[in-house]
Amino acid sequence: KNRDVAAAMIPPLALSFYFFLAAVAMLLRSVAALQQQAPRVVVVGGGASGYFAAIAAKRRHREVSVTVLEQQRSGLKKVLMSGGGRCNVMHDDGVALGEFVENYPRGKKELRGSFTKRFGPRDARQFFEGEGVELKVEDDGRVFPVTDDSRTVATALENAAKKGGVHVLFGDGATKVDYEVCDDDDDDAETSFKYFNF
């Protein structure tokens, strides 16, 4: 699963953020439907994307119970390893997306799509700085915490989840997911809701 990428290519954490945004968008649309039933959201996986999705869902809908299930005894392990232990969280938000994607051999179309329109580098910067993480841009365009310590980023995600009321359960993974697609009287697949049972 691990691929070698040049230093100027998209950092793993930032890519993770981009690719989970579609799932977050579906999750947030589902939250409105869930409010009519038992308002509960379960995020499977306590990595960067799982934490961020849970935080975003809880911030948008405070009345909904949000729980992260992580089968390991701790989460955010890849965050702690990324960037050689320094955690490059994104690329320079001053670089145009068209220029940036040329440094990434796969996923150019996806990076130009809804992922970066919904949550781009400026949003990532706002999020981390809002959580007290000071950031710096290096010569190659990668952005790191000024501490040069990935624990700074992991702690920011953990604190944002805790502060927001997100429950994180370690040693608890989903072994099976059942779902049904509910007809919302709209033929547009983008607005269809999925209800999951664990």
List, for residues 58-71, the tens digit of each pLDDT value: 999 998 999 999 99
Rounded CA-CA distance 24/18 in Å is: 10
Most distant CA atoms of the chain, gap in Å: 51
Ranges 6-10, 28-32, 48-52, most confident: 48-52
> In angstroms, rounded to a whole number, what is the distance separating the alpha carbons of residues 193 and 155?
33
Residues 50/68, Cβ–Cβ less than 8 Å: yes
Report whether pLDDT(38) > 80.
no
Q: Which two tokens stand for residue 36?
A: 């009519």
Q: Within 10 Å of residue 80's Cβ, how many Cβ atoms?
A: 16
pLDDT at 127 exceeding the cut of 80: yes
pLDDT tens figures, 88-105: 898 888 887 777 777 766
- Provide the 10 A C-beta neighbour count for residue 54: 28
**Which residue bears the tokens 């379960």?**
42
Q: What is the pLDDT of residue 178?
A: 73
Angle, helices 48-60 vs 150-164, to 10°: value is: 30
3-state SS class at 169? strand
Q: How far apart are CA 145 and CA 77, in angstroms?
A: 17
**Predicted confidence (pLDDT) at residue 34 exceeds the cutoff of 90:** no
Q: Nearest Cα to 55, choosing from 123, 152, 113?
A: 123
**CA nearest to 120, candidates 18, 12, 28, 25:** 18
**pLDDT (0 to 100) of residue 37:** 59
Q: What is the pLDDT of residues 9-29, one digit of tens each?
A: 445 555 555 455 555 555 666
Mean model confidence pLDDT for the chain: 78
Whole-angstrom Cα distance, residue 94 to residue 180? 42
pLDDT for the residue numbered 185: 55
Taking Cα atoms as reference points, which of 28, 91, 58, 89 lies closest to residue 160? Answer: 58
Return the top range by mean pLDDT from 48-52, 140-144, 172-176. 48-52
CA distance 2 to 22: 22
* Other CB atoms within 10 A of residue 28 CB: 16
